[in-house]
Structure 1
Amino acid sequence: MRYRLLAATGVLALAAGLSGCGSSEPSPGASGSAAPEKLTVWIMRDSMSDALLGRFESGFEASHPGVALDIQIQEWDGIGQKVTSGLASNDAPDVIEVGNTQVAEYAASGGVKDLSDKVADLGGADWLPGLAEPGKIDGRQYGIPWYAANRVVIYNKDLFAKAGVGGPPKTREEWLDVTAKLNKGGYQGIYLAGQNWYTLAGFIWDEGGDLAVKEGEAWRGTLDTPQALAGMDFYTRLQALGKGPKDSDEARPPQADVFAKGDVAQLISTPGGAVAIEKANPGLAGKLGFFPIPGKTAGEPGAVFTGGSDLIIPEASKHHDSAYEVVKALAGEQFQLDMAKEMSYVPNRVSLGGVLDGDEGTAAMAAGAANGHATPNSANWAAVEARNVIKEYMTKALTGADAAAEARAASQVITSILNTKS
C-alpha cells in the first residue's frame, strides 16, 4: 500500500561522483573480472525521477569498478505475479523494490535473502519503525526500508481564520473542539469518509490496540479489544463532524474534489493530495496548510500507517555481495538525502527527518512518520484488505449497529483469513 507524493520541492544538484553511496572499494563480485559484472535492479514506475536514478547509476558504477547496473522500470499492474516468478527464476533480478507490506508475502515463498546480519551495517537502529517492521518476519530482516509516506491533515487556512481558529490543534480532544468550531462557521469541519480504515488504524494504535496480533504460530483479529473499540469511538466522533459518506472510502468520490469546492476545512491525506486539490481549484493555491494527525497528548503526534517501499535481494540472484552493495547505497544516508529533497519522500531514518523542514507538507509528514506503524505482518493480510473486512465493519458501526458485536464478527473473519494455509 504505497502513496505517491506528487510534487518534488527541488532538485539537489550533486557532483557527478555521487554514489548514493556505499563503499568506495570495488565490488567483491567484480574482482578479477574481465567483463563488468551486470546487476539487474527493478524499480517501480514513478518511484524515483529519471534524473535521480541517473545520478545514482553513474555514481555507483564510478565507485564500484567492474560493476554495471541495469535499472529496469516495472509497472505496478501485475507486479505481484512478476516478482513471485522472478524470485523462482534461474535468471532472477538482483535487487527489487517492493511495497513494504508485500515483504511478508514474498518472504513466505522462501525466495528472499535474509539480511538480518546486515542490519547494524545499514544503520538499522535509526530506521523508521513503521517502515522497518514490515520487512522483518519472525525476527528476520528480509526487506530493507527505502522510503516512506504517510497521512497528514490538510487544512484551508482561510476557513480556519474566518472561524477564529488560531492554528492547528495539538491533541485529539482539541482537534474535536476545533472541528466543531469550524462547523459553526457554516463550513464542513472535516471531510472523512466512513471507510477510511488506515486513519482508523492510527486511532487504534494510539489507544494501544492493533488490527490483529500473532500468538505463537496463530493470528487473532483484535478489532473487538477495548483499545480498538476506543479507536473506533474516536473515529465515530470525528467523522460525525463532517458530511463524509458512511458507506464509502476516500476514493468514492475523490476526496480531493470534495475539498476543492472550498467549503471543507480539513482533509486527511498524504501531502501530495494538495496537488490534486489545487489542480481542481487553482484558487486554493497558497491557502492550504498541513499538520500531523494529532495524538492523545501534545508531545507526540498521532499514530499513522507508514506506506512506502523496501528493497529485497532474491536468493536466486547470482551476485549477492554486489547486490548488497546496491542496497547499502540506496538505503544509505547520501542517497536518502538526495531522494528526500528531490522526491519529497520521508527518508528511511528518523535522524534525517529534518531535511524536509523547509516544506510544510513534507515536514508534517516526517513528524508523523516518527510514530508510524505497519499493518499485521502476515502473508495473508492482502486477503483481508481484498475482502473489505474492516471497511464493512466501519460502515455498520457508523450506521447504528452495535460496534462491539460487529467488531467481534469482523475479528473472527480476520482470524480465519490470517490462519488460512496457502
Structure 2
Amino acid sequence: MKRTLLLAAALSLGAAQAQKTELEYWTLSLKPFFTDLIEGQIKAFEKANPQYSVRWTDVPFDAVQQKLLSAIASGRAPDVVNLNAEMVTGFYAQGALEPLNAIAPKGALNTYLPRAKTAFTFDKQLYAVPWYWAPKVVAYNSEIFKKAGLSRPPRTTNELLAAAKTIKDKTGNYGFVPDLRNLEFLYLFREEGLPVLSKDGKRAVFNSPEHVKVIQTYLDLYKKGYIPEEAISKGYVAATELYGSGKLGMLITGPQFLIRVENDNKAAYDLTRVTSYPLGAGKVAHTPLMALAVPKASKNKEAAAKLATFMTDDTRQLEFAKATSTFPSTSGAAKDRYFTEGGKGAINESRLMMSRNIGSAEDLNVTVPEASRLHKAFKDGIESIFFNNRDIKATLDDVVRTWNAALAQ
C-alpha cells in the first residue's frame, strides 16, 4: 500500500512538472555580478506562478539585436527580452514587439512612472515595461572648486559651462568632459528645449540657428582647449578616468560610476560632493532607460507579460536598484527611504539627488524609420564638424535632408 501511494505521488509530481510552461528570459550583461539576484527573483516568480518555469539567458549588450533577429527568424524567440529605448524603437518599427496593454496583468502597467513609460509608448500602446535607469547628477571635486575660487556648484547649463572654463583657467584641470559621442547632441538639443522633429514627426528640424548655436558653444570650448578630444572619442569613460585620477573638476554621472571612483582613488572620492544635474531651457535631462519587452513571436505572450511585469514590479526594482546602484522606474520603489533619505558620502548623496531629479528624467531617444542609417548620418556629421572643420549649418542641412528623405517615405 505504501509503495502504491509513493508511486502515485511520484506520478502526480511528474505530471505537474510536465504541464509547466517554460518561459525564456533574456537579459543584457548581468552575469556574473548579478547572477544571484536575478536567479532569486526568478525563483520568486516560479513560486508565485508554479505553472511556469523560467530559462534565463544573459546576452552581451552588443550582440542582442542580431541574436534576437536570428532567434525570431528561426522560430525560437525568447518570451521576454531586455532592450534599451533605441532597440525598442527599432524592433517596434519592424513590427517585432507585442503591445502590452491588452495582455499585461490588470493594473500592472499603472505602477510605472509616467515619464518612464513615454520612451516605450507608440500609438498609445506600451511596447515595453520600464526597468532601470540612472538620472544624472554632478559629482564635483571640492578641492578643485576651492582652488578655482568657486563657492558653489552650477545650477544651470550656462553656469556649468562657465564653471568649466573657470576651473581650466585657474587650476589647469579640465572642468568637465561632456559625452559628445553618438547621438548626444540630439539629446542636448531637447535638453535646451529645441525640437528634433516637427510636431507631426514628419520632418527633421534640427538645423535652425538655435541648434547651430548649441553645437557652436561646445565647438568653441573644444577649440579653445576647455574640452578634451576624448569627449568625442571616449565620452564617459574618459571623464571617469580623469575624475578618478583627481584631474577633473566635475563628473556628470550616476552612482555606478562613483563606485569606480571610490575603488580607483579613495582620496578623490573623499573630496567629492554631489549636486543636481543643471537643467537647460527644456527642463528635462536625458536619462537612458532599460526595459523588458515581449517579442511578437513569443508563443506565450500573456505569460511573458506576467513575467516582465513581475521582474519590474516595486519589490524587484528596489532589489535591483540597491544591488546595481541604479534607480527604479516604478512609483513605489522610487519613493523608498533608501533614495529619499540619502546619507554620508558621495554615493549616498547621489541617490538622494537622483530622487530629487526624477521629475526631470526622461529617455530622449528619437523615434524614426531606418533609425540605424539616420543615426549614423547624424553621428558622422557631428564628427566631421569637430574633426574636419566642416561648417555647422551646412552639415546640419545635409543631415536634415537625409532624414527628411526617409521620413517622407
Poorly superposed stretches of 4+, deviation over 6 Å: 397-400
Between structure 1 and structure 2, the one with the greater Rg is 2
Cα distance in 2 for partners of 1:64, 1:241 equals 59
Cα offsets for 1:244-284 (capped at 9, x unmatched): 12883334983333334423212334443334445554542
Q: Percentage identity across aligned positions?
A: 19
Aligned residue in 2 for 1:13? none
Residue 231 (structure 1) aligned with residue 207 (structure 2):
no
Cα distance in 2 for partners of 1:71, 1:253 equals 30
**TM-score of the superposed pair, with normalisation by structure 2:** 0.80
Is residue 198–residue 204 contact of structure 2 (8 Å, CA) maintained in 1?
yes
Post-superposition offset of 1:36: 1.8
Q: Which amino acid is 1:336 matched to?
A: Q
Q: Which amino acid is 1:419 matched to?
A: L
Aligned residue in 2 for 1:15? none
Cα distance in 1 for partners of 2:388, 2:277 equals 25
Is residue 192–residue 244 contact of structure 1 (8 Å, CA) maintained in 2?
yes
Cα offsets for 1:183-239 (capped at 9, x unmatched): 3432335233683465534431133223334736x4x22221344334335545665
Is residue 195–residue 247 contact of structure 1 (8 Å, CA) maintained in 2?
yes
Q: Which amino acid is 1:294 matched to?
A: P
Aligned residue in 1 for 2:407? 419
Aligned residue in 2 for 1:38? 22
Is residue 210–residue 222 contact of structure 1 (8 Å, CA) maintained in 2?
yes
Cα offsets for 1:146-178 (capped at 9, x unmatched): 111344333212111333323322222333343
Aligned residue in 1 for 2:6? none
Which of 363, 378, 383 pairs up with 1:373?
A: 363
Which structure dedicates a bigger proportion of its chain to helix? 2
Is residue 196–residue 391 contact of structure 1 (8 Å, CA) maintained in 2?
no
Q: Which amino acid is 2:401 matched to?
A: Q
The correspondence of residues 179-258 of structure 1 with structure 2, limited to 5 A, is 179-192=164-177, 195-196=180-181, 199-213=184-198, 215=200, 218=202, 220-236=203-219, 242-245=226-229, 248-251=232-235, 254-258=238-242
Cα distance in 2 for partners of 1:368, 1:238 equals 27
Residue 106 (structure 1) aligned with residue 91 (structure 2):
yes
Residue 334 (structure 1) aligned with residue 315 (structure 2):
yes
Is residue 122–residue 331 contact of structure 1 (8 Å, CA) maintained in 2?
no
Is residue 43–residue 72 contact of structure 1 (8 Å, CA) maintained in 2?
yes
Cα distance in 1 for partners of 2:190, 2:36 equals 38
Secondary structure of the 1:317 match is coil
Which of 384, 399, 403 pairs up with 2:374?
A: 384
Cα distance in 2 for partners of 1:164, 1:128 equals 41
**Which stretch shifts more, 120-129 or 50-59?**
120-129
Post-superposition offset of 1:367: 4.1
The correspondence of residues 55-134 of structure 1 with structure 2, limited to 5 A, is 55-117=40-102, 118=104, 121-124=107-110, 126-127=112-113, 129=115, 131-134=116-119
Secondary structure of the 1:169 match is coil
Post-superposition offset of 1:83: 0.9
Secondary structure of the 1:290 match is strand
Is residue 260–residue 281 contact of structure 1 (8 Å, CA) maintained in 2?
yes
Cα distance in 2 for partners of 1:253, 1:64 equals 42
Cα distance in 2 for partners of 1:252, 1:206 equals 18
Cα offsets for 1:355-392 (capped at 9, x unmatched): 434322344345444322322112522323334x2463
Is residue 97–residue 294 contact of structure 2 (8 Å, CA) maintained in 1?
yes
Q: Which amino acid is 2:396 matched to?
A: A
**TM-score of the superposed pair, with normalisation by structure 1:** 0.77
Post-superposition offset of 1:137: 2.5
Q: 1:120 to 1:256 in 2, by over 3 A?
A: same
Post-superposition offset of 1:41: 1.0
Cα distance in 2 for partners of 1:109, 1:379 equals 9
Aligned residue in 1 for 2:296? 315
**Which stretch shifts more, 146-155 or 98-107?**
146-155
Cα distance in 1 for partners of 2:288, 2:22 equals 31
Cα distance in 2 for partners of 1:119, 1:210 equals 36
Is residue 42–residue 97 contact of structure 1 (8 Å, CA) maintained in 2?
yes
Secondary structure of the 1:116 match is coil
Is residue 246–residue 395 contact of structure 1 (8 Å, CA) maintained in 2?
no
Cα distance in 1 for partners of 2:386, 2:164 equals 21
Cα distance in 2 for partners of 1:352, 1:34 equals 36
Secondary structure of the 1:370 match is helix
Post-superposition offset of 1:339: 1.4
